Amino acid sequence: MNYSEQVFKIPQESNDYQEASDYAIKSIGKIIENAIEKGENKIIINTNLKLGLPMENINKIAGPFVEAWAYETFANIVENTKNEWHLVNVEALKRLNRADVLLQFKRNQPHNTVITAEVDVKATAEDFESSGKSPNITSYARIRSAYVEDPDYLFVILSLKHKVYSHRNYETKLMDGIMEVVKHNAYDMKYISDSDISYNPALGTGQIQIKDIHYISIQKRTAWEFCQMLDKKYLSSTKRSFDSWLELANRYGWIK
């Protein structure tokens, strides 16, 4: 028995999946760009430390702040029911979820009018080249299962670059740490090229990682092609075997 002999549950996405994906990616990018252009891209952190925020370790605490900023940016948009991006719902997802924020856009289409996207926010420091360069995305089994459960599953990686600086606030006598979002990119995980995705066998069923989030190429593929690519990454690991893959495939219902 081998991989090619299995009877797989093959996901079949909707005919307009790519159109929906492109719409969500474009809208997310424009919303972030709009916030930057309007100067709504700053997170102010007050501290009584005389030297301000510890710059050499700022990347260790930036993630949660930037994630919170992204959620509030989307939440501010949805308050306007006539917003130009037709964003109708924003939800902060729980800590152990695959992503950080759930977004829903409503299009004027006869079918599949609502686009649901789960957004995983990744913060990287503009001032530190290696900061957040190769982030963990989610577990292999979790992301592999998502496309079997929902062939139209849309998982977006939102990369936000930030700069951090401090200045003294003479009114409060405290140091204001300013975390400023300066650049952004959004990608449909399913369309990130094979060469940009790696598999790390550490932790549970292994982690899917982005090799270099600053330089990503796009490779259009189907949900089934994406699942096969993930399986290939898993089976190519020296710490994994076909038997361990088969156990996962039975446990999570990837095969009949």
> How confident is the prediction along the chain (256 residues), in pLDDT tens digits per residue?
799 999 999 999 999 999 999 999 999 999 999 999 999 999 888 777 776 777 666 677 778 889 999 999 999 999 999 999 999 999 999 877 889 999 999 987 766 689 999 999 998 877 655 555 778 899 999 999 999 999 999 999 999 998 888 777 777 777 777 889 999 999 999 999 999 999 999 889 999 999 988 889 999 999 999 999 999 999 999 899 999 999 999 999 999 9
* Residue 149, pLDDT score: 97
**Distances 199 to 122, 217, 229, 234, 251 between C-alpha atoms, Å:** 18, 17, 11, 7, 20
- Helix (H) / strand (E) containing 90: strand 87-92
Check: pTM over 0.85? Answer yes or no.
Answer: yes
What is the rounded distance in angstroms from the CA atom of residue 125 to the CA atom of residue 182?
Answer: 10
Backbone φ and ψ for 80, nearest 5 degrees, come out as -90, 105
Decide: residue 223, CB within 10 A, 0-12 exposed, 13-18 middle, 19+ buried: buried
